[in-house]
Structure 1
Amino acid sequence: MPVPVILDCDPGHDDAFNILLAAAHPAIDLLALTTVAGNQTLEKTTLNARRVCAVAGIRGVPIAAGRDRPLHGARRTAENIHGDSGLDGPGFGEGEPDVPQDPRDALTLIRDTLLAHPEPVTLVPTGPLTNIAALLLAHPGLAGRIRRIVMMGGSTGRGNTTPAAEFNVLCDPEAADIVLRSGLPVTMFGLNATHQVRATPEVVARIAALGTPLSALCVELLTFFGSAYREVYGFDAPPLHDPLTVAHLIDPSLVELVRAAVTVELHGTYTRGATVVDLHGVTGLPAAVEVGTRVDTDRFWDLVVEAVRVLGGGPGPR
């Protein structure tokens, strides 16, 4: 049976591909999309989610806007990576996308979806964890309706926004702390895993060869994303972080997982937002989180390319 999923995201180039993958693959039942401020402001990330669904022909998936700032502290965005729109690169035009925004807020949409679905649902947050933490605080009785949380964030090693902290966790460390200590099953895909799935020129060429309007748009997204990563980080190809979450749900053998205690540093002058992953059991804390380690990159890219082909109406598998 398909895995029932709610995506909570902040599109964002890599979020866009995760939406495509979740909508295209028959192993996933995409129930709802919720947005959060992160890669850009809430207004922009919500518009971007609607734009992606519109160009890919994704209809009937409700999209609701969530929190526009972290639980505590100031909001931060990632214009240096995702541009002023949050999805710089392609031209989406000036008009409103024909995919509407749900009138409910994100927490209400998630609550309603969890209560309406006959079985527990997997939450897939790929931005700051503000919406998910707020949901757990506001509706603790819904925990039994959540099968698991599969998140993109953190790292077993160094960060990408500060030397110690990854962007999603740093945007709202208190929210990440609440989620990781919630007692719910959590699987974390951090930078140590996502940096293995880089959109090389060969990958971009495979997508371009599909020859559809959607594939052309995806190439434009990856071209801008790659340019930003070269300029900011010196990467030869950009890592497509977020789709690793849904790819794992499609094929659990795609990424090796280890169990570890994961805590979030909330107070360090230089380390606030760091995920402290106890891979060797030295803290004595419960190894409560599944942490992604080694990725089968070829199979990952096969899934992503196939999603673009399916939604774009392109030729047979490549």
Structure 2
Amino acid sequence: MQRNRIVIDCDPGIDDTFALILCIKKLDVAGIVAVGGNTGLQFTSRNARYVTELTGRTDISVYAGYDQPILGNAVRAEYVHGVGGLGDLDIPEQKKQLEKEHGVDFLIRTFMNENDVSLVAIGPLTNVAQALLKEPELKKRIPEILIMGGAAFCGNQSPVAEFNIAADPEAAKIVMESGIPIRMFGLNATRQNWMGEEQVRELRAVGNKVG
């Protein structure tokens, strides 16, 4: 069965790390682009590479995008994810290297030259917005963007803002006004997917590298 082909733009982070593991197993991942968000780019790009090693998929290229939002200072969630993005987990030095091409250039190259690839953006939308600013024709080439962000009710970064949107609101505005079809999965959806102590114990009991 043919699997959906996607590019993932993310800021792993504990939540995005689990998302990457699931996507790599279930979908055809054309590439991963890291963005500064939950923690700085040096850690989000490292964590993305770490996931490809954990899952045995070092053939998936990982690119570094932007660390800072379009305007203003970076908003981080290190109080949730830890400075390194994965709590107190001791991450070994990664053998897999980042691609030399900038993540934004990879986004442009991929979507300008390939068909039937969807964009999954589960971090701040900085890279996506910068790609649209650099190549305006890109909005005609991306069939849809699936976004983890926003909230139908109360936010988690402030009473009126969810973290991924609040981390770069200017980028979010650019993406939302691009005309590209968008499917958003906000806090009203993501908060239905909690992981408690029982689930953690089940993962540990698996006994493999991911567990």
Same structural fold, with TM-score higher than 0.5 when normalized by the shorter chain: yes
Equivalent AA in structure 2 for residue 173 of structure 1: P
Q: Does 1:151 align with 2:152?
A: no
Q: Any idea what SS the aligned residue of 1:71 has?
A: coil
Corresponding residue of 2:137: 141
Give RMSD over aligned pairs.
1.3
AA aligned to 1:205 is R
Cα displacement (A) at 1:33:
0.4
Q: CA deviation at 1:116?
A: 3.7
User: Following superposition of structure 1 onto structure 2, how do residues 57-206 of structure 1 map, counting pairs within 5 Å?
Assistant: 57-93=56-92, 95=93, 97-117=94-114, 119-206=115-202
Amino acid at match of 2:132: L
How much has 1:34 moved relative to structure 2?
A: 0.3
* Aligned residue identity for 1:72: L
Tell me what 2:19 maps to.
18
1:258-297 → structure 2 map (5 Å cutoff): none
Q: CA deviation at 1:77?
A: 0.9
Structure 1 distance, partners of 2:142, 2:108, is: 10
Runs of 4+ in 1 over 6 A off after TM superposition: none
Contact 2:116 2:143 in 1 (8 A): yes
Report the number of matched residues.
210
Q: What is the aligned partner in structure 2 of residue 302 from structure 1?
A: none
Distance 1:148 1:4 in 2: 12
For 1:212, the equivalent position in structure 2 comes to 208
* Aligned partner of residue 146 in structure 1, secondary structure: coil
**Which SS does the other structure have where 1:142 is aligned?**
helix
Report the CA distance between 1:132 and its aligned residue.
0.6
- CA-CA distance at 1:39 after TM superposition: 0.6
Alpha-carbon shift at residue 203 of structure 1 (Å): 2.4
Counterpart residue number, 1:294: none
Counterpart for residue 7 of structure 1: 8
Q: Percent identity?
A: 38
Q: Is the 8 A contact 2:139 2:179 kept in 1?
A: no
- Tell me the TM-score normalized by structure 1: 0.64
Deviation at 1:104, TM superposition (A): 0.4
Give distance in 2, aligned partners of 1:201 and 1:85: 22
Q: Which amino acid aligns with 1:200?
A: G
**2:46 aligns to what?**
47
Tell me the distance in 2 between the aligned counterparts of 1:174 and 1:74.
12
- TM-superposed CA distance for 1:36, in Å, is 0.7
Looking at structure 2, the residues matched to 76 and 167 of structure 1 have their Cα atoms a distance apart, in angstroms, of: 8
Deviation at 1:82? 0.6
Q: TM-score, normalised by structure 2?
A: 0.94
User: For 1:24, what is the secondary structure of its paired residue?
Assistant: helix
- C-alpha displacement at 1:147, in angstroms? 1.3
Letter in 2 for 1:31: A
Could you list the runs of 5+ residues in structure 1 that have no partner in the other structure?
A: 216-318
Deviation at 1:86, TM superposition (A): 1.1
CA contact (8 A) 1:121 1:145 kept: no
Residue by residue over 1:81-137, the C-alpha shift from the partner in whole angstroms, topping out at 9 and shown as x without a partner, is 0101111232223x2x122200000111112222342x2321111111011111111
Computing the radius of gyration over CA atoms, which structure comes out larger, 1 or 2?
1
Letter in 1 for 2:86: L
* SS of match in other structure, 2:144: strand
